[in-house]
Amino acid sequence: MYPYQTPLWKTNRLDESKGIVDDYLPIIDELYNALIHTERIPFNDEGGYFAYLLSDYKLQNQDVFLGSVKITVLSGILGDNNFYGNDVFFSRDGEKMMNARFVIRIKDKYLETENGKNEFYESMAHELQHAYRFHCIFLSSDNYKDEEMEKMHRYAVGINKLKNATRTVDIDTYQAYYLSDRNEISSEANRLYEFLRQHEDIGEWNFQDHLEEMPLYVTMVSLRAFYKNVDEAKRNREMAEYLGNILNSIERNQGRSPSVGYTKLRGRILSGLLFSKRLLYRTLIKAFDDFGRRQQNPRPNRINDLLKEKIENEKEFDLLREIFNKH
């Protein structure tokens, strides 16, 4: 966040691979402390669920890209978490995002419990990355802004189609499109970093035993499975064209041939898979360095071994280059 002693959000530069992982915790600390001092509002008397609300809250202790926020926390309920950029506006100098709206859902009945707090911190770490990137897009050039806004629109279209899909192949494809979005992967890296901060028992010596609990690892495994299915479809022309048409519908490009759409979908999922791998182990290394959980003995570095084994796989990178060069 602070290259050359300047906050990244003031440099007009977008580094989506790093996100705000270095600077999110003080922001969430302030928001959490404000939320737990608000009056709980029952919204489901039978279930005993509560809503915690902050309306037009102005951050008081943090000089960050957020100027004011609206947060709704719904407890005791499963569902998506969201950052909404529709009503956002910016300060005159463009440095502060105003009226940023978040909706967070936690399974625990109370935000004040340890579990409720941990859930909130993980979800906010994820959503703050989305908000931060949205702010960086605003600070960028018009050409870049137009390109990114189109990507965001496609992303929203994919999510809406996922919600309405009924066929398994459609659901899987829309889910793969959603998970392979680099913004989503970067946000999951933030969630992973927070997960590791909370779990002090996880270190370099035993992280492999806990991989299935880790947010970004779940994304990576899902993308691997989706890619396998999509790759196998190349042997079935009808299925490949069906998948290609799904991508073309998301990207509103019905004039593009189904075969080109299929190739682009296959490349997108593989690219997301490789990016999630790199970001997973990069985040593990950073977290274990930051939290003092690297191995202190001369045994081989297990993370570096995994980096070599799982990331620097030239066959995968060669395949990705082949796919993108094809069209």
- List the Cα angle 268/195/61 in 5-degree steps: 105
pLDDT of 141: 64
Computed over every residue of the chain, the mean pLDDT equals 83
Residue 71: Cβ within 10 Å count = 22
pLDDT of 325: 58
3-class state of residue 82 by DSSP: strand
DSSP secondary structure code for residue 301 in this structure: -
DSSP secondary structure code for residue 311 in this structure: I
Q: Tens digits of per-residue pLDDT, 136-183?
A: 887 776 666 677 777 777 777 777 777 787 889 999 999 999 999 998
243, 261 contact by CB (below 8 A): yes
Q: Where are the domains of the chain?
A: 3-140, 144-326
Spell out the alpha helix ranges (H) of the chain. 24-35, 114-139, 142-164, 168-179, 182-198, 215-232, 237-250, 258-290, 302-306, 314-326
- List the Cα angle 1/186/217 in 5-degree steps: 130
Strands 68-75 vs 100-106: parallel, antiparallel or unpaired: parallel
pLDDT of 145: 67
In the chain, the percentage of residues whose pLDDT exceeds 90 is 51
DSSP secondary structure code for residue 113 in this structure: S
Beta partners for residue 89, in sequence order: 98
3-class state of residue 299 by DSSP: coil
More confident residue, 155 or 101: 101
What is the identity of the amino acid at 190? N
Over residues 59-66, mean pLDDT:
85
pLDDT exceeds cutoff 70 at 301: no
* CA 313 to chain CA mean position, Å: 24
More confident residue, 86 or 305: 86
pLDDT exceeds cutoff 70 at 319: no
Taking the model in full, what pTM does it have?
A: 0.84
pLDDT of 134: 86
**For the ranges 8-17, 75-84, 284-293, which has the lowest average pLDDT?**
8-17
Q: Which distant-in-sequence residues (6+ apart) come within 8 Å of 317 by Cβ? A: 274
More confident residue, 87 or 315: 87
Q: Tens digits of per-residue pLDDT, 238-297?
A: 999 999 999 999 888 888 999 999 999 999 999 999 999 989 988 998 899 999 998 876
